[in-house]
Structure 1
């Protein structure tokens, strides 16, 4: 019995899933918290909350259903927050996170609402996400003018790792980036910042305002559902795991609501990283693969508890290195978004409007460009389909 729990395949898969999630996007989470005006202690609280909530939900769901149900934070949601959250206070942002949790709970309870979300054409959803991610990817190349040697070294490392060991591309890039920080001009400040200590939660009183609800909570909800929960459900079903969707949505929504005041901006079903815990390499016995997710949950908990060290490391890195890490982490997702958005002829123009309006950053009538882009795309799509029928 004990040997089952200490199966090397389960442990390595769980660790790999968490490693992929953290190395690919933790820098974006920190950027989102900074954009919201969070202090260093509050940023640590964000990562503590996320580690705890992802660890607990992954363990509890997988234990209860005896199936691999991995949760994660919403990387596209964090990217959206970086561009949208600065005009609101931190308390308003926390209130918006709680509203997002409530919306996810409602989606789980009301079947027509979940079906309405599913009916949003994926071409428009991915066009919206692509516009959110594009500025991050562009920023990855700006350090070429200010830190050319660092950029060229990291770019070469990325290309080599992508070719030789694609699963560990971001881990390789992270190691090279940290090494550049350690041995570069700002190495003294980075060395002094590195320490090992436990993180502490920081309670932030939520404030509920209509603008934050419309321009933060609603887009975060849509992005989380379209880019995380629906693909996460599809991923589980592709591996023939039939898990009831409603309890998962209600559970993650409630967890989001409870952990938001200490920085848990998002907890949702994992998609890409979840596949690491579901394939045959984990365990030839499909019914035992849920143990890999339980190990992932424990690694999540450890990462959350030691968030102080993670935050100190990334805050001490030069901004140029952070931009490179964030931009290259999102290249694959951006490529997927653009490929999906513009693949089919009859969706190209509506997707283009969604993409351009979202990218423009305009706001009108109290609504952000994210919502306007999706709304205009949906209206244009409906009109073009009606004219095609006529």
Structure 2
């Protein structure tokens, strides 16, 4: 895909604007804050970081995600969604108790430099080029599956909220599919209010004062934290992120995306950001038909998502209390329903070629297993398992590399 001229894209925004894309961008932002941000809190509190440093951390990852979303979505006229690494945040829960925070900042910088170099060199693009699309879409389906399941788990936990949302989605999907997710969100908020489940009393609004931390470079922290963070970002975040774009028909080059997120990570590391990377879960929300029937106009969702990141990030830790005030069942249901289309299309494409079904199935099963080896999540190991299965079942390495890949977008 040839990058758009930014000014050309800016001129098209008024004509391409849609409420559905903006709401989908808001939902993607809500999903980003609702779950992963709680892991950030856990990591910060476990390390004994002050509230000011924690607020700066939230500000840094929000600003980095917002700016990269907006810039890349305009640049490629594609809904490019970025975020902070959830597996990376999980890694920090234990690591920040071992290393000093300045040493951790040094490890963040090391990781960002490596990721930037991988993006600039084109190495990431080369690796992604030779991974069969059936395997990457199966990996994506495995990542999304738990969100779809949570829709019905929430129905058991809070049926009075989940059932009206599910029925609203189904009826709206039949009569007004473009606004199905939008209407479901409003219904969910209304029902939660009537049930007394919106607890907004403890929300206090305040702007963030970013805190600069001078980095120190420790070999132990670089090996024990910097390298795992780098691997997690590339394997468990950027690879699925590229898969999401390809699954919905966007042939966006990986190099510039990875490079841009690496540079953003580098600049914001001293303010507490462990890294910015391509998103998978929230990207799937924005790249689907719920954003807009015309895939060339879904980039508005990426711009909207970036705008909400910037807005919410200015209030730092306050945003956590806002999302904590919403019932977790509401977040789970709206996220799962918004991902239904991406989940079904990913499964369909993964199993579309009979010769590659077993490879895709192995990828899918390993990904949903949730295994973690060496701090690297199941998405990466699912990818590796699928590739190994493909090589064993479908010939030697040369025949695999020479095979023409199916690049047809999903219907």
State the TM-score, normalizing by the size of structure 2.
0.69
1:127 equivalent to 2:138? Answer yes
Structure 2 runs not aligned, ≥5 long: 1-7, 46-50, 400-411
Count of residue pairs the alignment pairs up: 370
State the distance in 2 between where 1:290 and 1:21 align. 10
The CA RMSD measured in Å over matched residues stands at: 4.6
Give 2:276's aligned residue: 266
2:371 aligned to 324, 337, 362, which one?
Answer: 362
What is the 5 A alignment of 1:183-332?
A: 183-187=194-198, 190-194=199-203, 196-201=205-210, 208=221, 210=223, 217-229=230-242, 246-260=255-269, 261-263=271-273, 265-268=275-278, 273=286, 301-305=310-314, 310-332=319-341
State the distance in 2 between where 1:365 and 1:60 align. 34
State the distance in 1 between where 2:249 and 2:359 align. 30
Identify if the C-alpha distance between structure 1 residues 337 and 296 changes in structure 2 by more than 3 Å, giving closer, same or farther.
closer
Identify if the C-alpha distance between structure 1 residues 16 and 143 changes in structure 2 by more than 3 Å, giving closer, same or farther.
closer
User: Which structure has greater helix proportion?
Assistant: 1
Identify if the C-alpha distance between structure 1 residues 202 and 138 changes in structure 2 by more than 3 Å, giving closer, same or farther.
farther
Q: Which string of whole-angstrom CA distances, capped at 9 and with x for unpartnered residues, describes residues 286-307 of structure 1?
A: xxx9999888865653343356
1:33 equivalent to 2:24? Answer no
State the distance in 2 between where 1:96 and 1:173 align. 42
Q: Which string of whole-angstrom CA distances, capped at 9 and with x for unpartnered residues, describes residues 63-113 of structure 1?
A: 8x6x746642259x64x6688776654869988876664444223221344
Structure 1 runs not aligned, ≥5 long: 283-288
Identify if the C-alpha distance between structure 1 residues 273 and 84 changes in structure 2 by more than 3 Å, giving closer, same or farther.
same
Retained in 1: the 8 A contact 2:138–2:350?
yes
State the distance in 2 between where 1:130 and 1:97 align. 30
What is the 5 A alignment of 1:50-199?
A: 50-57=61-68, 68=77, 71-74=80-83, 78=86, 89=96, 101-187=112-198, 190-194=199-203, 196-199=205-208
State the TM-score, normalizing by the size of structure 1.
0.72
Retained in 2: the 8 A contact 1:74–1:224?
no
Identify if the C-alpha distance between structure 1 residues 125 and 156 changes in structure 2 by more than 3 Å, giving closer, same or farther.
same
1:381 aligned to 380, 385, 390, which one?
Answer: 390
Retained in 1: the 8 A contact 2:125–2:254?
no
Identify if the C-alpha distance between structure 1 residues 196 and 218 changes in structure 2 by more than 3 Å, giving closer, same or farther.
same
